[in-house]
Amino acid sequence: MKNIVYLSHSDYQTVMNSCSENIGTSKLIETIKIIRASNLNDPPPSLRATKFTVEMYSDALSKGENPDPQNHHNPEVFEIRVFNPIKAITVNMGNGDIVMDLNEMSLKFIEGLGKGENIQSIAKLIELYNLIKNWEDSL
């Protein structure tokens, strides 16, 4: 399987728009910089791999085709995808909806215990939290 690089939605749109145009040298360099600077991977892809990928996407999109990095002859070419992280979750614990971001979710569960929430309910919510975090980490 080829490598995958994740970008935010806005960076993905910028890259795809650049690749859809007749890409010149300055646009190529700008697009490479965007991918390498804003990718959500650690470490970022190599300069060489990014150049090959931008050229492959640009070539396919300028012909009206879908880019297909999986079947490209160059093994350095990677797939570019949008990463849509889960920012918040709404949970009804019986006393109304609680909206919280995932970073503060564990703390809210512990606070819920202190407020007399059912320990089984809290355990299920922690299980849901772990499921969501594991799913995000697997992308």
Residues in the chain, overall count = 139
Q: How many structural domains is the chain composed of? A: 2
User: CB–CB of 67/5 below 8 Å?
Assistant: no
- The last residue of one of the domains, among 82, 99, 127, is 82
Going by C-beta distance under 8 Å and a sequence separation of 6 or more, which residues neighbour residue 70? 1, 2, 79
- Residue 5's φ and ψ, nearest 5 degrees, are -115, 130
How many angstroms separate the CA atoms of 53 and 39, rounded? 14
Q: What is the mean pLDDT of residues 108-117?
A: 65
Q: CA 50 → CA 20, 29, 34, 121, distances in Å?
A: 16, 10, 10, 46
**Does 61 lie in the same domain as 15?**
yes
**Does 62 lie in the same domain as 12?**
yes
The residue among 2 and 118 whose pLDDT is bigger is 118
**Does 11 lie in the same domain as 76?**
yes
Q: What is the mean pLDDT of residues 96-113?
A: 70
Using 50, 70 and 90 to split pLDDT, how confident is the model at 117?
A: low
Using 50, 70 and 90 to split pLDDT, how confident is the model at 1?
A: very low
**Does 56 lie in the same domain as 11?**
yes
**Does 20 lie in the same domain as 73?**
yes
Residue 2 has pLDDT above 60, yes or no: no
Q: Tell me the residue range of the domain where 125 lies.
A: 88-138
**Does 94 lie in the same domain as 78?**
no
**Does 75 lie in the same domain as 96?**
no
* Spatial CA neighbour of 72 closest among 53, 86, 96, 45: 53
**Does 53 lie in the same domain as 10?**
yes
State pLDDT tens for residues 24-56: 777 888 999 999 988 777 788 899 999 999 999
**Does 54 lie in the same domain as 32?**
yes
6 forms beta bridges with: 81
- The last residue of one of the domains, among 34, 52, 82, is 82
**Does 55 lie in the same domain as 119?**
no
How many angstroms separate the CA atoms of 1 and 14, rounded? 25
Q: What is the mean pLDDT of residues 68-95?
A: 81
**Does 109 lie in the same domain as 60?**
no
The pLDDT, as a whole number, for residue 28 is: 86
**Does 112 lie in the same domain as 68?**
no
Cis peptide before 43 (omega within 30 of 0): yes
